[in-house]
Structure 1
Amino acid sequence: MVSTTKDNAWLRAMPWVFVLIWSTGFIVARYGMPHAPPMKFLAVRYALSILCFLPWIWFSGVKWPSSRKQWLHLSVTGVLMHAGYLGGVWAAIKAGMGSGLSALIVGIQPVLTAIWLSGTGAKVSRRQWMGLLLGFAGLVLVVSRKFGAGGPGDQANWINLSFAVMALLAITVGTLYQKRYVAACDVRSANAVQLLAAFLVTLPLALLEFEAMRWTHGDAGVNWELTGAMAWSVLGLTLGGSSLLYMLIQRGAAASVTSLMYLVPPCTALIAWMLFDEPITLVTVAGIALTAFGVSLVVRPARAA
């Protein structure tokens, strides 16, 4: 009886834990980018993640995708959802964008998805259209206040905005592509294939970067900020986040994660304020709240008739 109660409590907490882990992805980028170029960081992250997944797949007896077509579809989603999405976020933060703003921009993915679905003939309710407008208005409110006016590490400009929008488009298209073409398969082998594709695309870009990864501070010893960012990226985000999502899907709680994703931007903004002193003004709070409310209207399931 006690065990069952604990299991139920953990199941209810899992979506919230997943959202918290997802939010730290933007924080990790802020920690790591002062000490490494974005593509080199990500190439190393993908390589280490693959090396962690392979023994997990081997000892678990997990099956690999059975057809070339499935490998191809997984590779496309890997390029979009890992190389494109993470590459855009990391590059935006490297170019001076704050963690909170990057999370806010990418957080309107459900809004962009709803707009695309409306163009394909899918029904978008009046409530969802209102959510689209509110979400976009909140984003414009925050960006307009930070454009060219923020401090170091928390400023919007055309360069980092372009990278962030690229990340938004990549995760949106990747999600839609995966829903349309990727058949159900084990998340561990699927992740390994996606990461391999992302690594192969990212590696040539990493070799073009002149900046080196600063693993040490010279005579001062190990650079723990870069080392910690890499360790959490691999173990916490790629392995921990993926395995948690796998358990959520298996237990039928994936819908809860979707409905909570609009909490990622305010969660990220709060963590960034505590760790990096990224300012949270009344305008920022209002914009984030407006966007979160708008996105919640978009993702909220319709009431049964």
Structure 2
Amino acid sequence: MISHSLPLKAETHGYWLVVNQQKIYWPPTQHGLHYSSMAELVPFFGEPEQSGTLGLFNGKPVYYWVLNDQRQDEENWLNPRQLLQQGEAVFELAARAVQVALFLQTHRYCGQCGSAMQLVSWELAALCHRCGHRCYPRIAPCVLVAVVKDDQLLLARSSRHKAGFFSILAGFVESAETLEQAAVREVKEEVGIDIDQLEYVGSQPWPFPHSLMTGFIARYVGGAIRCQPNEIEEAHWFDLAALPEVPPLQTLSGQMIEQVKQRIAGNKKAT
């Protein structure tokens, strides 16, 4: 539950996530979330442009602290993905902090009449008191699809990834489209093949900048690999015993690849 009901006071104690331009302050000497009072942070960062409550960690409150000045020490600022190794709870709080900060920064003025927006006290929303326009944080659903053919898994490398690094297919959901329809369309667009028997696996917030990843395992039906220009550099069927470099297990895509491996290994044992 995120609350913005009252400004935080100097004596407020809790865990703090300091956000600046979509990155979290996390110096190399810091191990775990930083616990202190708000007053202790002011000498280091100055007064926050925005602050509020994110949730709880180990039974204690977690707050965000938004800055927008230039960063002089880039090595002390990490994107949330770099905090995956701190555990799921820390990653989710960091992702939420970055997404809330982006919402606050991009909704200072009403997109309908141009007046100043104000946060409401009972939910995370910005309200224009002049025209009544209300805005909520944007969440962009994205589908991940692990396509299986016999004992092989389809992996692709996008133009944004380094050579040798492959992952399952991904794409954003379009307006008036179901998650399943998006999965079928994205696979067809990106690699030219058809799928069916979609099985929902799970979801993961992904703050780049405001995505929600939703995962499906699907069966290959037909078609030959034909990579979408300017989007997919290469795609191949891989034997699960000889996979290339893939996303880590802390990510939903990495978990799905591991699930496919275990499922196929189990099927082989059963037969």
Pair in the same fold by TM > 0.5 = no
> TM-score normalized by structure 1?
0.19
Q: Which structure shows the higher strand fraction? A: 2
> TM-score normalized by structure 2?
0.20
| Greater C-alpha Rg | 2
Q: Which structure shows the higher helix fraction? A: 1
